[in-house]
Amino acid sequence: MELQAFLIFAATQAVVIASPGPSAILVASQGATNGWRRTVFQMFGMMVATAIYFVMSATGLAALILASNLVFQIIKWVGVGYLIYLGLTALLSRSGGFAVGRTGKTRSRQALFSQGFVVEFANPKVLLFFAAILPQFLDTTAPIAPQMIIMGLTGAAMQFVIYSAYAKLGDKLANGGLRAWIVGLINRTAGAALIFAGIKMASVTAER
């Protein structure tokens, strides 16, 4: 892989990861609720899900999923339902598993990992992104495996760094002693954003 292609790939990845989507909203929320250190386990769940889609795209399995409307629809609608559920939790519950604010309760590492994995894996946009973008940056005249490893590790590192920044931001805001009405406003905003993301996800198709 040429340096220019690598830099473009890295920049594209950074922009996509940094965009305030469901995963970014979730880690910021859990950073505020559970602290940055515990939220790392949620990020690990997201990274594992992303890695699975990356490997599937690299091995051609992603193309099979995109070609199977049933499998794609199952993944999509699981994601839609889960995002709307999380959004409603934030809107309606003051002490739910998603709501922002230090409530004295912390979620287990396993629960955070599982939640992060489900949110990321049930987002078909991740699969579409890798299936569409990876072939554009591969140098077919050079060995493919080393290029895939470089891109995979680069994406994972960026995902960890950027999501850590979101989690630390949430952690810092919570440590600042937010007033109750501000916490409520953040919960409602985050909940509405997740519901909107779920509704938008419903319109995603397997066409690239």
pLDDT per residue as tens digits for the range 55-74: 887 777 656 666 777 777 87
pTM: 0.71
Q: Please report whether residue 109 resides in a domain.
A: yes
Full domain range(s) for residue 141: 22-201
Q: What is the Cβ-side half-sphere exposure of residue 82, based on CA atoms within 13 angstroms?
A: 21
Rg (CA), the chain: 18
CA distances from 56 to 27, 35, 168 (A): 25, 32, 31
Phi-psi domain of 58 (left: phi exceeds 0; alpha: psi -120 through 50; beta: other):
alpha
Q: Which amino acid is at 175?
A: N
Q: Please report whether residue 176 resides in a domain.
A: yes
Mean pLDDT (the chain, rounded): 78
Q: Please report whether residue 6 resides in a domain.
A: no
Return the pLDDT at 45: 94
Q: Please report whether residue 4 resides in a domain.
A: no
pLDDT band at 96 (very low <50, low <70, confident <90, very high): very low
Neighbours of 92 (CB within 10 A): 12
Return the pLDDT at 95: 47
Q: Is the pLDDT of residue 125 over 70?
A: yes
State the total domains in the chain: 1
Which candidate, 139, 135, 141, places its Cα nearest to that of 63?
A: 135
Q: Please report whether residue 185 resides in a domain.
A: yes
